[in-house]
Amino acid sequence: MLRFLTAGESHGPCLTVIIEGIPAGMPFDAEAINERLRRRQGGYGRGGRMKIERDQIEVLSGVRYGHTMGGPITLRIENRDWVNWQERMSAAPDAGENSEPVTRVRPGHADLTGALKYARDDVREVIERASSRETAARVAVGGVCQQLLAQYGIAIHSHTLMVGGVGYAAGAEPDPAAADDAFWARVAASEMYCADEALTQTMIARILEGKRNGDTCGGVFEVVATGVPIGLGSYSQLDRRLSARIGQALLSIPSAKGVEIGGGFGLAALPGSQVHDVSRYDATPEGRGWYHLTNHAGGIEGGISNGEPIVARVAVKPIPSLAHPLPAADVRSGENVDVTRYERSDVCVVPAAGVVGQRDG
């Protein structure tokens, strides 16, 4: 029903997204989407570029007088750094004559795979699209979707569980079912998007330690959707399962290497008697109807939402752009390249400002 395409290079004039299938008459709040973009750019340990850019959407179609009209919505996010890249990223046929190609392929990036798949010997033509800057466009899409979901009382939040090995102790993770507005306010106030202030400071210390070594961190974040009605997704056909769709969305984040629904890998080691969530029916007049005593399933049973909060966790690998770079190779000659330092020195992933956001690269 709902489709979208994102487009744009990291140093091109802009990112663009077209979203198709949003109903007409939905209140549209551009500022709320800009707030999500700001959150994506926030967090501790931002590199230089994150300060240059202050992403904002420009609404180019689909919205009039503050509400949707039923047609496709076009959002544009200008790249403020474009002025410095107009020549190197020009679309004009004759602009590339004096261009110096990038031929070095770096570990942990799409450099090698993209150069070989698309037969590009100027790796810039790979890294510009493979860059996680693309996720700014996704955050904008996610912002529109959140406004649609809000009409049905569904809210989506995310917070950081671990960075570089520093995180909540086993068994001491916050209970998603108990996360209230105050909890999410603490998350929003934290430089690490972590509700625990002390843990936030330890995470920052961990990042600084990595930075001193010229190294980088990964982490784990959790996404929680509340207010989800019973009945989304289906076991009828495998690609309709809600778990499969969430898995696809979250593993499409460029640096994601793992996804868990509910108890995830932990459930695999427990006996069945401790895993499955007993359901009960509340028949009182103001009752909530069907509910579960626990939520190990993360809100999905049989590929269908069961009314409990949907809980998913994502593992993000460390940023591949190290200050003390890893050995690289030359895509044209195949020879090793002597690398002393990358241009940029971002040191940390701060995950998930929005549904699937990620920092620029």
Query: Hey, which residues between 188 and 207 contact its own copies (CB under 8 A)?
Result: none
Question: Which member of 278, 285, 286, 343 binds its own copies (CB under 8 A)?
Answer: 278
Measured in Å, how far apart are the chain's first and last C-alpha atoms? 32
Residue 213, interface with its own copies (CB under 8 A)? yes
- Spatial contact of 278 and 308, defined as CB atoms under 8 Å apart: no
Tell the smallest beta-carbon distance from residue 293 to its own copies (Å). 9
Tell the smallest beta-carbon distance from residue 227 to its own copies (Å). 16
Question: Which member of 47, 210, 309, 354 binds its own copies (CB under 8 A)?
Answer: 210
Residue 276, interface with its own copies (CB under 8 A)? yes
Residue 165, interface with its own copies (CB under 8 A)? yes
275, exposed or middle or buried, with CB in 10 Å at 0-12, 13-18, 19+?
A: middle
- Spatial contact of 103 and 122, defined as CB atoms under 8 Å apart: yes
Residue 309, interface with its own copies (CB under 8 A)? no
Q: Which whole-number Å values give the CA distances from 214 to 70, 210, 218, 330, 345, in the listed order?
A: 50, 6, 14, 23, 8
Cite the DSSP H helix spans in the chain: 30-41, 48-52, 111-117, 124-130, 134-150, 181-189, 197-212, 242-251
Tell the smallest beta-carbon distance from residue 28 to its own copies (Å). 7
Question: Which member of 84, 86, 99, 151 binds its own copies (CB under 8 A)?
Answer: 99
Question: Which member of 136, 195, 329, 352 binds its own copies (CB under 8 A)?
Answer: 329
Tell the smallest beta-carbon distance from residue 180 to its own copies (Å). 26
Residue 46, interface with its own copies (CB under 8 A)? no
Distance of CA 284 to the CA centre of its chain: 40
Report the residue number, 37 or 329, with the smaller CB distance to its own copies: 329
